[in-house]
């Protein structure tokens, strides 16, 4: 995987093929990150009474490891692992390549590159991607948690899927 990624990043011409490959990567990555965070609330913790327990904290730490974010999180956050910090890191931190905000920013970037390559025409896909990014940039973890992590992630998954469908239609990937 690392060899293919390295070859792709280091040798592929930066044209529409590259941009479409990156779009797929970041749309799928955001989907996976959102789903693993959402599953944590519904599957991993056997009882609400265990929230904040050592089992809960180990599971949050496991999520970091599952998305290859443990070292980055610990480097940036010397404090103990906890749900608030991890959720914020994996949703809103634009420095983390697996976060929802990073993925959304990269989707916007690649759609900008495609717009330039196709004559600079504005696109519905780019508008939708910018709206998704703005939603993340306008959020903070406390508001998200107060309104419901599941609800926020469900809406993100819906918007992310709609964006993927819009790209598919706009760029005529369907027959």
Phi, psi of 138 (to 5 degrees): -90, 5
* In contact, 38 and 153? CB cutoff 8 Å: yes
pLDDT tens digits along 135-145: 999 999 999 98
pLDDT band at 52 (very low <50, low <70, confident <90, very high): low
* Predicted TM-score (pTM) of this structure: 0.88
* In contact, 64 and 86? CB cutoff 8 Å: yes
pLDDT surpassing 80 at residue 48: no
Q: Which two structure tokens, joined as six digits, stand for 8?
A: 């792709």
* Predicted pLDDT at 172: 84
C-beta neighbour count of 117 within 10 angstroms: 12
Which conformational region is residue 56 in: left (phi greater than 0), alpha (psi within -120 to 50 degrees), or beta?
alpha
Nearest to 30 by CA among 162, 168, 142: 162
CA distance 60 to 68: 13
């Amino acid at each position: 995987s690392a060899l293919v990624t390295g070859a792709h990043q280091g040798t592929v011409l930066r044209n529409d093929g590259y941009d479409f490959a990156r779009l797929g990567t970041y749309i799928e990555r955001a989907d996976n990150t959102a789903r693993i965070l959402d599953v944590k609330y519904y599957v991993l913790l056997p009882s609400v009474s265990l929230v904040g327990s050592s089992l809960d904290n180990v599971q949050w730490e496991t999520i970091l490891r599952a998305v290859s974010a443990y070292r980055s999180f610990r480097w940036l956050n010397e404090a103990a692992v906890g749900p608030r910090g991890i959720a914020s890191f994996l949703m809103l931190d634009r420095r983390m390549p697996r976060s929802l905000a990073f993925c959304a920013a990269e989707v916007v970037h690649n759609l900008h590159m495609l717009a330039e390559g196709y004559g600079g025409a504005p696109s519905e896909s780019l508008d939708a991607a910018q709206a998704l990014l703005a939603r993340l940039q306008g959020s903070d973890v406390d508001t998200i948690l107060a309104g419901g992590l599941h609800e926020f992630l469900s809406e993100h998954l819906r918007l992310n899927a709609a964006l993927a469908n819009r790209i598919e239609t706009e760029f005529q990937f369907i027959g």
